[in-house]
Structure 1
Amino acid sequence: MDITIKYFGAVAEQAGTSTEFLTLSQAEIELDDFKALCFKKYNITNMGSVKTAINRELKETGYIKSGDEVAFLPPFAGG
């Protein structure tokens, strides 16, 4: 499966990239497992505070399939 990954803010700084394309052998992957896989690759340690969007919709759980776009967003602050 092919996935587009977008990193924003401090997460992009830690990853050293803002966009990445990843190919995995399985048909789908659980969001927490995918997040752990990506964060381990770049030694991103604040996994709990990073929000995730799948196809531009904020998600806390779910599955990622081929063709999905996953975005990792830094913590938000209101104001």
Structure 2
Amino acid sequence: MKITKTVLLAFLITLINVSSVLADGTPPSPGNRASAIPPPPADGPIDEYLIVLLICGFSFGIHTIYRYNLNKKASI
């Protein structure tokens, strides 16, 4: 088991070092900034039902806490 851990550690260190050596050193030139990034959409889909999303998240949190407490009481 100890040999397996040592071999795995050596392999991971070698893999990390090789990827660092082979990585490209210089970033690409930025080019034309106006056309590189598209403008964001005018109306995102999350804007319409944000309250519903918050209510669903809150109710899921309450359900999860209740289920956890129920399992904890049953195991005692």
Task: Tell me the TM-score normalised to structure 1 length.
Answer: 0.18
Q: Which has the higher helix share?
A: 2
More strand by share: 1
Mark the structure with the bigger radius of gyration: 2
TM-score computed with the length of structure 2 as normaliser: 0.19
Bigger relative contact order (CA 8 A; separation at least 6):
1
